[in-house]
Structure 1
Amino acid sequence: MSILRPFLSRIVRQGRLTVVAPDGTTEIFGQSAPGYPDITIRFAHKAAMRRIILDPRLGAAEAFMDGDLELVDGDIMDFIGLIRMNTPWDRGEKLKDKTRVGEWFDGIKTRLNSINRRRQSRANVAHHYDTGNDLYRLFLDEDMQYSCAYWSRPDMTLDEAQVAKKAHIAAKLALKPGQRILDIGCGWGGMAITLAKLEQVEVLGITLSEEQLALARQRAKDAGVADRVRFELIDYRDLAEREPGRFDRIVSVGMFEHVGAANFETFFRAAANLMTADGVMLLHTIGRFGGPGATDAFTRKYIFPGGYIPALSETLAASEKSRLIATDVETLRLHYALTLRQWYVRTVAHEGEIVAMMGARFFRMWTFYLAGATAAFESGGMGNYQIQFARSRHALPLTRDYMGEAEKSYLQRRDVKGGRTSA
């Protein structure tokens, strides 16, 4: 009996997992079932198996990254999916790889790790986003939208779904000509450029990534909107001190996850101070279903240091301190899972290029990250929230009809891709 039997026999019930030990002996866990993959994994040595016993999530990730855990039948997406499908969040199942004391300690580490003072925030962003724009070009859509797309039809391409996401968000901003827009965490500029093309507005995009900043500025110039779209390397806290009350609208997509739980109230206070009296903000963020939790060790160490996925309750409670009114909340339950699967397919298709660029260990780490994230959004406790905030109850129309009307109008435009939008 392998050292993994007590753990795996408790977890894997549906779907078959075959484990090949370093000496060639095999053990089978679970049984084949419709909708569940059958997987075979092989371990290079017992030390890799012990790593999983000591810390199942981080241990499995590092064993796979180091080549000590090999997928013989199936791939890493199938393997992680099998484990997560057997422990679905909405049925109250858990991986149960931590004691209550261990979970409490993870929560403490998450909070300490996500304090994110200004210098640390910039270092955390550089860790993930300054790995080079060429990597992201390989698996993202044409507009380089590195956030959840919006799948209004099941047969959409990734590019179409990202176009739909931008139109969906733009509609919720209730844009009007002449407004000043702030994009907090602007990425490579696609959203900011799109907004400026959809309406005659001025946009300031801010980022902490040198790589993103350079490309965003070039894209605005190429799109012919550099006179109305600017980008700056600045922390949102510093901007709030410099330009209070300046912006009619704020949009922030995929940035709130990097703020850190300790700074939630600071973020909303800064946002409220940056807005005019009739200002509106649209926050698009990954969210945690249920209550507050902790960031897993693999994500903390390798992917998003300083990051934390908030529960909806944490987000709204923090916004209330600044007297922001949550005027609309939409839960995107499966949209990110669909997006991540597209990113995974594209990543695997470019394996040779990514290995040549970043190395084989990085490629395995990246696929583990994408596969784990997909499983979390398909069977785990993760989703996305789009929350609209206003400072005044009079800032927006009384009904939501304007959103659908604007979104339909934007999607009827020939092209709403960042930098290439045309009337």
Structure 2
Amino acid sequence: MASALFSIVKKIVRKGSLKLTLASGETHMIGDGSGETVAVRVADQQAEDAIGRDPTLKLGEMYMEGRFILEQGDIYEFLSLVKQNTTNEIFDLRMAALLIGRIAWQQIKSRSPINRNRYNVAHHYDLSAKLFDLFLDEDWQYSCAYFVPPGISLDEAQLAKKRHIAAKLLVEPGQRVLEIGSGWGGMGMYLAEANPGLDFTGITLSEEQLKVSRDRAAKRGLSDRMRFELQDYRYLTGRKFDRIVSVGMFEHVGIGNYGKFFGKVFELLDDNGVMVLHSIARPKPSFATNAFIEKYIFPGGYIPSVGEALAPLEKAGLMVKDVEILPMHYAHTLRHWRNRFVARKAEAVALYDEKFFRMWEFYLAGSEMGFRWDELFIMQIQIAKNQFAVPDNRNYIAEREAKLREFEANRAPLEKVTF
């Protein structure tokens, strides 16, 4: 019987060089022979059939289980080869039905009245802190870095990201600042130390992040003006903030909840306040998240297009004051993360196991591929309630970044996170 997997791969790969060994032992050279050869082998017939039926989900699963094996090259090189060749030819009626079903299910879940935010966040962020220490920068920034100027290190690029956001946020000493999705506290500590007297509140749904954030703030003597709370943004009431920042959290809101999110921002933001929203985005709506990412990495997540975010933002009564698109920066960030993670494979396996390591390697490789070849990018949206909340030109960004560099030059070194 003809191999469904071979039929799909043969349709896709026209350029490049792929050596595919099927479960039967039959080997095929696919492509035009250009470039470095990537060689893969499928360990058993069941794995081969599964990938042929549902490659979006099953390729990652079979790689996790060690049944889709890279014999030459790595998983990123395989995914990149496939993606650079992909056309719509591979979508038959069966795959179209799978996609439509997933879109419908994710749309229903995103609009469900059942609050799964806490579970979804815990699924990813309440993993061992030692795992994230394997690949993140010294400040544990788990979001896209800002590689300006090009070629700087990951630590420098993550610092540049905080500086760039802080400049757009127009923070002043003594203001009240809210961070929605406060991570391990790095952004908040940067803002608090750069602005004496700042009153900071960071909210998260991750107990692990909460514990680390509070410990870091205490060690730097900031506990008197920095609060980290285990809090869902939807239930935060009775307070107003001069500034609101959210970095890498909007992807978890879900498309059915954008109206609620921006409605809450309108409620919490002072009339003269400013917000900066930093999020992954895409060029056009996709309606559903990648099946592997949805199941194993970020359940409930959705990457919006710019238009999908702006419509509910404006409907909530907020104004867009600035939109900046950062292409490729996340591809560079993910390359650093993946290289660091793979270099410390033994430690990752000791924490969990080989299957977990391969799951995260596939996630990091697939995500990098998405930013390099699938046109994903970062959007930074500056938001206000009135047109006078920010200057009428963008010169202030560079001016404020220059002042923040002066602060950074005299800032006490970051302590190593302990767990």
Q: Provide TM-score, normalisation by structure 2.
A: 0.94
Does the 8 Å contact 2:107/2:287 carry over to 1? no
What is the CA deviation profile of residues 181-221 of structure 1, one whole-angstrom value per residue up to 9, with x for unaligned ones? 00000000000000011112211000000000000000011
1:14-413 correspondence to structure 2 within 5 Å: 14-34=15-35, 37-87=36-86, 96=91, 99-115=95-111, 119-200=115-196, 201-239=198-236, 241-243=237-239, 246-413=240-407
Distance 2:89 2:345 in 1: 32
**What letter is aligned with 1:334?**
M
Distance 1:419 1:189 in 2: 15
**What letter is aligned with 1:328?**
D
Does the 8 Å contact 1:207/1:233 carry over to 2? yes
Distance 2:410 2:89 in 1: 41
Distance 2:211 2:407 in 1: 28
Displacement, 1:42? 1.0
Distance 1:418 1:209 in 2: 27
Distance 1:226 1:94 in 2: 57
Cα distance, 1:386–1:125 mapped onto 2, change above 3 Å: same
What is the CA deviation profile of residues 260-308 of structure 1, one whole-angstrom value per residue up to 9, with x for unaligned ones? 1111000000011001101111000011112343112111110001111
Does the 8 Å contact 1:286/1:309 carry over to 2? yes
Identity of aligned pairs, percent?
Answer: 45
Displacement, 1:93? 6.1
Distance 2:407 2:241 in 1: 26
Distance 2:113 2:140 in 1: 28
Distance 2:67 2:178 in 1: 46
**What letter is aligned with 1:287?**
A
Distance 1:9 1:315 in 2: 38
**What letter is aligned with 2:16?**
G
> Which residue of structure 2 aligns with residue 3 of structure 1?
4
Distance 1:373 1:409 in 2: 34
Cα distance, 1:178–1:40 mapped onto 2, change above 3 Å: same
Cα distance, 1:308–1:173 mapped onto 2, change above 3 Å: same
SS in 2 for 1:413: helix
Number of paired residues?
412
Does the 8 Å contact 1:324/1:390 carry over to 2? yes
Deviates more, 1:25-34 or 1:351-360: 25-34
Deviates more, 1:24-33 or 1:169-178: 24-33
Distance 2:91 2:170 in 1: 45
Does the 8 Å contact 2:184/2:210 carry over to 1? yes
SS in 1 for 2:4: coil
SS in 2 for 1:249: strand
Distance 1:68 1:312 in 2: 38
**What letter is aligned with 2:321?**
T
What is the CA deviation profile of residues 347-397 of structure 1, one whole-angstrom value per residue up to 9, with x for unaligned ones? 101100110101110000000000000000000131110000001111111
Cα distance, 1:71–1:100 mapped onto 2, change above 3 Å: closer
Cα distance, 1:32–1:77 mapped onto 2, change above 3 Å: same
Distance 1:32 1:249 in 2: 55
Displacement, 1:94? 7.9
SS in 1 for 2:368: helix
For structure 1, list consecutive stretches of 5 or more residues without a partner in the other structure.
Answer: none
Displacement, 1:100? 4.4
Distance 1:401 1:317 in 2: 28
**What letter is aligned with 1:50?**
D
Distance 1:52 1:26 in 2: 17
Cα distance, 1:416–1:72 mapped onto 2, change above 3 Å: farther
Distance 2:82 2:142 in 1: 26
SS in 1 for 2:407: coil
**What letter is aligned with 1:126?**
A
Does the 8 Å contact 1:163/1:417 carry over to 2? no
Distance 2:11 2:22 in 1: 19
Distance 2:174 2:112 in 1: 34
Displacement, 1:419? 7.4
What is the CA deviation profile of residues 311-357 of structure 1, one whole-angstrom value per residue up to 9, with x for unaligned ones? 11110001011111110001111000000000000110110011010
Displacement, 1:3? 3.2
For structure 2, list consecutive stretches of 5 or more residues without a partner in the other structure.
Answer: none
SS in 1 for 2:138: coil
Distance 1:297 1:351 in 2: 25
Question: What's the C-alpha RMSD, in Å, of the aligned pairs?
Answer: 1.9
Does the 8 Å contact 1:113/1:305 carry over to 2? no
